[in-house]
Chains A and B, each alone.
Chain A
Amino acid sequence: MSRKFLFVFISIVLISTACARKEDSSGNSISTSITNTGSDTIVNLALAWAEQYQKEHPEVQISVTGGGSGTGINSLLSGTTDIANASREMKDEELDTATENGFTPQEFVIARDAIGVIVNPGNPVKELTLEKISKIYKCEINNWSELGGEDRPIVRLSRESNSGTHVYFLETVIRLGSKEDKSIFCPKTLLLPSSEGIIAEVRDNPNAIGYDGLGYITSEVKVLGIAEKISMAYVIPSEITANDGTYPISRNLFMYTRGEPKGLIADYINWIVSPEGQSIVTDLGFIPIKGN
């Protein structure tokens, strides 16, 4: 019971500190600290960047936290973070809130990510079309035997709905990119709070199917080949197939700032998109942006 009181108490504290922070960050633009919040997909990459950048600029303090793309964008809107990481684009409502708060968010593409669909290594299924995956997550296909696998029930895993990966997967795979399609994950889908949780369950459970950013997928699970349509070839996600567009589930990763970035924040973002910053992207399983 006291847990709920604690929760409310913490919310009060958070809200009051949020207000305090807002005044603080608008007051000084020459500060040497950057806060960077958002997407759990990006968090490891953002940490690696922060570490590298701080090595070169020891006077700068960068604090990186996760929480999900929605969480990051909300912090940006409420002024509690300088840079929001997002694995999806900002929604219209979020842009409206930003306008109400008096700024236009600036968007930067900082890397690309492919989303792999994963199953247990013991599962004989090797490849699926997008349509089949959509049907699995809509509970229209319920047994692996319908897909050429063993007679086992399908257990669907997903990230929580505050994850950008969740939203991207919903739009690109379940709705097959159609704007009119209003289908959703069927209620039987397990929503796990972390990427690691999904990998662990897929590793241990031969019934499971899940999806995750390529940077999180370990060799303990099996990545499926994906075909956009039945007539097309099945493609395994990799840096090459994501960049040449043959792998259908790949996306841009973003950073957002409050308006045109100035000073330190601008310098940091310029460094991230420079060849030097992009050089560590591959080490973490992501795909560097082309150009520059």
Chain B
Amino acid sequence: MAGITFDHVTKAFGDQVAVRDFNLEVIDGEFLVLVGPSGCGKSTTLRMLAGLDAITSGTISIGGREVNGVAAKDRDIAMVFQTYALYPHMSVFDNMAFGLKLRKISRRDIDTRVQQAARLLGIEDLLKRKPGQLSGGQRQRVALGRAIVREPAAFLLDEPLSNLDAKLRVQTRAEISRLHQRLGTTFVYVTHDQVEAMTMATRIAVMNEGVLQQVGSPQELYDHPTNVFVAGFIGSPAMNFFEGTVRRVGGGIVIASDGFDIEVPQVRRDSFAPLEGRELTFGMRPEHIHDPAFVPAGTVPAPLDAQVEITELMGNETFLHLQRGETSLLARVDPRTAARAGSQTSVVMDLTHLRAFDATSGEAVPLEVPSTV
């Protein structure tokens, strides 16, 4: 078991910088998920950690030992590939035992370890088969098993679920989480799927265009994104954004957006007042826009009229695709809503959960003010 440290790590392919000044401390035993859109540098980061790609500058340490010059096989890590990378000519047993044989571990120990891992993953019956005779889910388990038997200091997983169908993906997600709990080893998991990140991670590191955007627990990232990118990337369906300026009108404060104004209720005026005149991007999650008939207690309501373009019934909730002027909004409302597609409706935004970002830099602008001054 070991913690992992990235210290000012940069990777360039010629002029192309894939990862820029990456700093991250992976705590011993945690499940860290590297997430970001494709091409954001997350896989490159993992490959540098594995020793499959050279580091252009900076250092990576595993368990306190700098590994920049250490060959992949000597880094004491195991990796699960997106394609599983099982040896097609070897049986499941031999696939799992391959790394142990090369490390000159006694035959009896190999047998015990492989059997143990196979039991843990429920693949005891498959040990004699070849990978070609297995289903996608079974191959996935064998790939995990091959990593487990090595008893490495850290597991690296590169999009291990992306080749599975939707149902199996949900199931395997839970299994990998359970595996992490049982083994208690450091997991570094790369995915482009923020749902996987949210459901499995102890902490999430969000990357975009080679730059680390934010690191934190799933809840932290969801509630307090540090910039527009993280706000938009984490959460499904995604956060609504609209441009606007805080203005003083008469005695009150409004958020003036393109074609509509949102009146800020008395209780929240103090938090918006300091932002007066600034160009901002506002963000509001769909679940914080309510049908006026079903507003939960504690909401700081800001009403808004909008055109309902489409309604999507989910059973336990209904999605309203709203249009107001140039702005499209998605609301996740109570399924008992009376709003119908094509009609005009009124919704209530909960300003407690409104997030503000600088319109040019995209960085979060704090809206909270201390309750007692």
Do A and B bind? no
